[in-house]
């Protein structure tokens, strides 16, 4: 299995532009997670889906952030408009969707820089 | 908000030495996971502890879950340069898949 796939690996954009991050989870996994990692705040959960349905989006910073999962093999995280404080590494992870002792498999991340 | 504090934040030791990393919270978790993250990559799961007081060993790494399921420790014996990385603990809530990650311990093993 190829693991969790994220694209792009690096993104540099200017403030005010729209940014779309993409994720392909591991085939057969039922849950998908979006995280953000910064030096100041560490690794934070933004939103997670189970069977393509958003379960918890309490970590989404504000209305500029939105996430979709149109099918079991694809998800997007969109930031519109982007701001310099959104600069971070964004990780996507997937799991089998078992509530107890679940293992989350992380992708390589997308490093976002907003100028 | 559930918070997981790790200590120390940074640790740099010589190859062959022993070390312990701590993960503490005021909240109870259904289980506790430890991940290791290397530069440019996502975290990778090392172990999951579920029962209060549980001890798990993974070669030179020993993981313990506190009796009250609020804290955990990671002990490494005879550290090797390959142990270098960012170690993250993560607590799993009850009835959901939401992981709360700790603040992280950046470990450097000097050859």
Residue of A nearest to B92 (CA): A101
Q: Quick one: three-class SS letters along chain B?
A: CCCCEEECCEEEEECCCCEEEEEECCCCCCEEEEEEECCCCCCEEEEEECCCCCEEEECCEEEEECCCCCEEEEEECCCCHHHCEEEEEEEECCCCCCEEECCCEEEEEEC
Contact between chains at A43 and B92 (C-beta distance less than 8 A): no
Per-residue pLDDT band for A100 (boundaries 50, 70, 90) equals low
Q: What is the pLDDT of residue A101?
A: 57
Give the bridge partners for A45, in sequence order. Answer: A35
- In this predicted structure, what is the pLDDT of residue A98? 73
Task: Give B23's contacts (C-beta < 8 A, 6+ positions apart).
Answer: B4, B5, B6, B32, B34, B71, B72, B73, B74, B89, B102
Mean pLDDT per 10-residue interval, chain B, length 111 residues: 86 97 94 95 95 95 95 97 96 88 96 94
Confidence of residue A61 (pLDDT cuts 50, 70, 90): confident
The token pair that represents B11 in the structure block: 């640790």
Nearest CA in chain A to B4: A42
């Amino acid at each position: 299995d190829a693991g969790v796939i994220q694209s792009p690996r690096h993104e540099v954009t200017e403030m005010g532009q729209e940014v779309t991050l993409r994720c392909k989870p591991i085939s057969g996994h039922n849950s998908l997670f979006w995280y953000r990692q910064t030096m100041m705040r560490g690794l934070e959960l933004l939103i997670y889906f189970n069977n393509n349905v958003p379960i918890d989006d309490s970590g989404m910073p504000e209305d500029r952030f939105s996430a979709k999962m149109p099918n079991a093999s694809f998800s997007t995280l969109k930031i519109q408009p982007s701001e310099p404080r959104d600069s971070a590494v964004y990780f996507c992870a997937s799991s089998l969707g078992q509530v107890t002792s679940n293992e989350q498999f992380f992708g390589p991340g997308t490093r976002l820089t907003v100028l | 908000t559930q918070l997981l504090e790790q200590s120390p934040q940074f640790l740099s030791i010589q190859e062959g030495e022993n070390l312990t990393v701590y993960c503490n919270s005021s909240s109870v978790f259904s289980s506790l996971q430890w991940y290791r993250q290397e530069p440019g990559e996502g975290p990778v799961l090392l172990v999951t502890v579920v029962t209060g007081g549980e001890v798990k060993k993974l070669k030179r790494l020993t993981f313990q879950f506190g009796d009250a399921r609020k804290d955990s420790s990671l002990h490494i014996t005879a550290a090797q340069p390959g142990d270098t990385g960012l170690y993250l603990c993560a607590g799993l809530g009850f009835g959901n898949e939401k992981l709360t990650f700790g603040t992280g311990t950046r470990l450097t093993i000097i050859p």
